Chains A and B, each alone.
Chain A
Amino acid sequence: MITLSIDGKKIQAPPGRTLLELAREHAIWIPTLCYHEALKPYSGCRLCVVELATPRGSRLVAACTYPCEPGAVVRTDSEMVRQSRQVAAELLLARAGHVPFIQELAASLGVHNTPYTLPSDDCILCARCVRACREIVGVGAISMAERGPGREVVPPFHISSADCIECTTCVLACPTGAITLQNIIDRDRTLHTWPSQYARRACRLCDYHADSLLQNEG
């Protein structure tokens, strides 16, 4: 076991734990956004930053990826941590302040409005959908494209991805509802905001056949 200190409390950790996992085991609150239990930590949203004391002064590290180290001195609620979480929340509000989930998340950090302006979008680029598609489904039908301000989630080359298996895991993984599941449009269904359309197929269990349904409605 490793011993380290979080917020002044001595805590024992089994080897291989990240700071976030340990904190959650001990009911120490650290906000997260891009983190998802079913996915590898991504360290992108930076909401889970905590202050780590080092010989060269303290610095912020992402709790979701930083491993528990013997003797580490960690603070989860210092001024430096609060400030940077608040700025992150303000930037999130600037991007997706119309999304209730983001409003609630910001409010939990004491942020209710933002001094910044950014082009508005439902997608906050947390990459949960991309990682779910790759790590859980094992497909990689969508990915991150472009860099900096142009970054977006798209199927390769913006064209319908033949790798998509219609599982809708991305829709479930998305925290903001940026990926919607539209159900029936004519004979096809559009799965999400990207151009992936599939012909409906017969259900093997219940004999339900979309085509016959459409004909009956005809």
Chain B
Amino acid sequence: MNRLTTPQELESWRKAIRKSVDPDQPRLRVCDGTGCRALGSQQLLLALHQSLDEAGLAGKVGVVATGCPGFCEQGPLVTVDLPQSAPRASIAYQRVSAGNARAIINETLRANRLIEELLYVDPVRDQLIVEEADLPFYNLQTRRVMALNGKIDPRRIEDYIAHDGYLALSYALFEMEPESIIEEVSFSQLRGRGGAGFPTGQKWKLCRQQPDDVKYIICNADEGDPGAFMDRSILEANPHSIIEGMLIGARAIGATTGFIYVRSEYPLAVENLGIALDQARQCGLLGQDILGAGFDFDIQLRLGAGAFVCGEETALMASIEGRPGEPRPRPPYPAQSGLWGKPTNINNVKSWASIPLIIANGAEWFAAVGTPESRGTAIFSMVGKINNTGLVEVPMGISLRELIFEVGGGVPGGKTFKAVQIGGPSGGCIPAQHLDTLVDYDSLTRLGAIMGSGGLVVTDEDTCMVDLARYFMNFVQQESCGQCLPCRWGTQVMLNTLTRICGGGGQPGDIETLHRLASAVKAASLCGLGQTAPNPVLSTLRHFRAEYEAHVYEKHCPAGVCRGLISYEIDLEVCTGCMVCARSCPTEAITGEKQQPHVINLELCTRCGLCIQLCKFNGVMVH
């Protein structure tokens, strides 16, 4: 890697990299993101290398460990890029294990045969899908920020540069003035992707206008919502896009130092970011006199220590300064007085990653997708009771119905959709009757949810909404920093009340207490964590009040979830006496003779649900 000193050198390097790619060499792209790693992608990569060695193909077939393309449900993913001369382009294999490695090499690469059991079956048309480009999961998306996820090796700057990487930086340094960069970002109408949706261009302008000589920019990568992993996947799969975005932002704002604050629970993201930063420094894309433009900028990595509240901007800055991660009141805003009292601009991972695209393709291109108030694409991680668990990028303004039922593939097991929790513990749930709501900042806010950073948890008929509210309240009361009174004790009392209701001890007045407390905590808390912490309670109360009432007044959990309110019974007509449940029951609450119907002793039963999961005949009933 040579140090680049002019934009021309960058361009000639780009040409050289592209030229060095042999179009007739087949290539195996293996997803090596955190999700696929958990499913064994590392062993798979090892097995693929071994099989290539055995077949004498080592060096003749490329093996690329990519970041996450988003189809986590089907991982580990292997995509076989065939030579240009082949009739097919890219074969998409799903749920591949190390044991399939030899077959992929021998069958697909050498004998040109498909391995049918590794192909995706489109559940709608019941049809095998061969080509990556034909997978409906990807086709229904508009992939921009995530376009290179799964295509490039995040540990090779060459891969990023071959795909027009750092071209936007070149424009920003040599063809644009700082003011015109800000104008372009303003014109694109990009709104902060961290959740609040503040116009990014306006934020940059405020920071640029400050008279200080020293300014900082920060990438907020402290993603912590349960069920959210958008930022992690971008950090892992395309770290250079964030570095390039920050470089352009620094040039526009006039900052000389940037920080990426990433949680240490993301080891792979930290690793890939560290490699990317080193490579960018070696190439002269970070440091002094970048590309000979007389512009100096470098980025430091800061690791969070596990506090959710550090995702709040003022707490995050306190943490970077080495102080306890506790928020402070605003004003002053970070643009006026941020890190060490200097003007600071802080943006989310997805906002930074959008910047190179806006500069390279123009604001009009960016704004051509979306709704008038919310331009561009939105990235969601979809989890819970949904077929296509994973990561999607869709145009702003898509309906929740399309997002969940078409892109997400709907609810598994023929169950009925109940609600979607959007925006994590700061967001709210949206019930089935509002499925035609458009996904944009303002429509979601009107329904008591928020866009948030993009975590989307789908629930079905088996989810108890009171229990869901209890789950999120447990999370926020643990994560409250404890500095301000309403958030510290208000969430604690709300959690205690919800736990009591779920346990069967609900009392008249509890629902009103919850509502009163939630409203006060929302209004009076110091920072965004406390101000949004009651949202799951408020939105479930708004849309599912009857469920709360059933818990409190009828001591009944309609979804059959809350252990204090349910009992199990074996259906004597269905039970075959197979004894599976009796053998597995951890409290030995199930008794019965072989081939005779069994019974549950409710005194001993803890409602753990193991017997329900194990019974092949659906013989355990929940009351």
Judging by beta carbons under 8 Å apart, are B520 and A83 in contact? yes
Judging by beta carbons under 8 Å apart, are B480 and A46 in contact? no
Q: Which residues of chain A are near B526, meaning CB under 8 Å? A: 43-44, 46, 62
Judging by beta carbons under 8 Å apart, are B484 and A44 in contact? yes
Q: Tell whether A92 pairs with B485 under 8 Å between CB atoms, given A62-B329, A147-B479, A149-B477.
A: yes
CB<8 Å pairs between A and B, sample of 22: A44-B484, A44-B485, A46-B524, A49-B524, A65-B329, A83-B519, A84-B520, A84-B524, A87-B516, A88-B486, A91-B489, A115-B509, A115-B513, A117-B496, A118-B489, A124-B485, A144-B324, A148-B478, A148-B481, A149-B477, A149-B488, A151-B488
Task: Please encode chain B, from 446 to 488, with 1 for each CB lying within 8 Å of some chain A CB and 0 for all others.
Answer: 0000000000000000000000000000000111111111101
User: A115 vs B481: C-alpha distance in the bound complex, in angstroms?
Assistant: 24
Determine how close the nearest CB of chain B comes to the CB of A206; give it in whole angstroms: 43
Judging by beta carbons under 8 Å apart, are A45 and B489 in contact? no
Task: Please encode chain A, from 85 to 129, with 1 for each CB lying within 8 Å of some chain B CB and 0 for all others.
Answer: 001100110110000000000000000000111100000110100
Q: Which of B479, B488, B509, B524 has the most CB of A within 10 A?
A: B524
Judging by beta carbons under 8 Å apart, are B486 and A148 in contact? no
Judging by beta carbons under 8 Å apart, are A94 and B493 in contact? yes
B495 (CB) vs chain A CBs: closest residue: A149
Judging by beta carbons under 8 Å apart, are A46 and B324 in contact? no
Q: Contact residues of B with A, CB < 8 Å?
A: 307, 309, 324, 328-329, 331, 477-486, 488-493, 496, 509, 513, 516-517, 519-521, 523-526
Task: Please encode chain A, from 52 to 69, with 1 for each CB lying within 8 Å of some chain B CB and 0 for all others.
Answer: 000000011110011100
Which of the four size classes fits the interface of chain A? 35 or more
Q: Which residues of chain A are near B307, meaning CB under 8 Å? A: 147
Is A80 an interface residue, CB under 8 A from the partner? Answer: yes
Q: Which residues of chain B are near A148, meaning CB under 8 Å? A: 477-482, 488, 491-492
Judging by beta carbons under 8 Å apart, are A147 and B480 in contact? yes
Q: Tell whether A46 pairs with B489 under 8 Å between CB atoms, given A83-B520, A148-B478.
A: no
Determine how close the nearest CB of chain B comes to the CB of A103; give it in whole angstroms: 17
Is A146 an interface residue, CB under 8 A from the partner? Answer: yes
User: A147 vs B478: C-alpha distance in the bound complex, in angstroms?
Assistant: 7
Q: Tell whether A88 pairs with B520 under 8 Å between CB atoms, given A46-B525, A67-B331, A94-B493.
A: yes
Determine how close the nearest CB of chain A comes to the CB of B582; give it in whole angstroms: 41
Known: A87-B520, A148-B480, A148-B481. 4 other contacts (CB 8 A): A44-B485, A83-B516, A84-B520, A84-B523
Judging by beta carbons under 8 Å apart, are A46 and B492 in contact? no
Determine how close the nearest CB of chain A comes to the CB of B30; give it in whole angstroms: 40
Q: Which residues of chain B are near A66, meaning CB under 8 Å? A: 329, 331
Judging by beta carbons under 8 Å apart, are B483 and A60 in contact? no
Q: Which of A44, A92, A125, A150 has the most CB of B within 10 A?
A: A44
Q: Which residues of chain B are near A117, meaning CB under 8 Å? A: 493, 496
Judging by beta carbons under 8 Å apart, are A46 and B486 in contact? yes
Q: Which residues of chain A are near B490, meaning CB under 8 Å? A: 87, 91
Judging by beta carbons under 8 Å apart, are B482 and A88 in contact? no
Determine how close the nearest CB of chain A comes to the CB of B174; give it in whole angstroms: 40
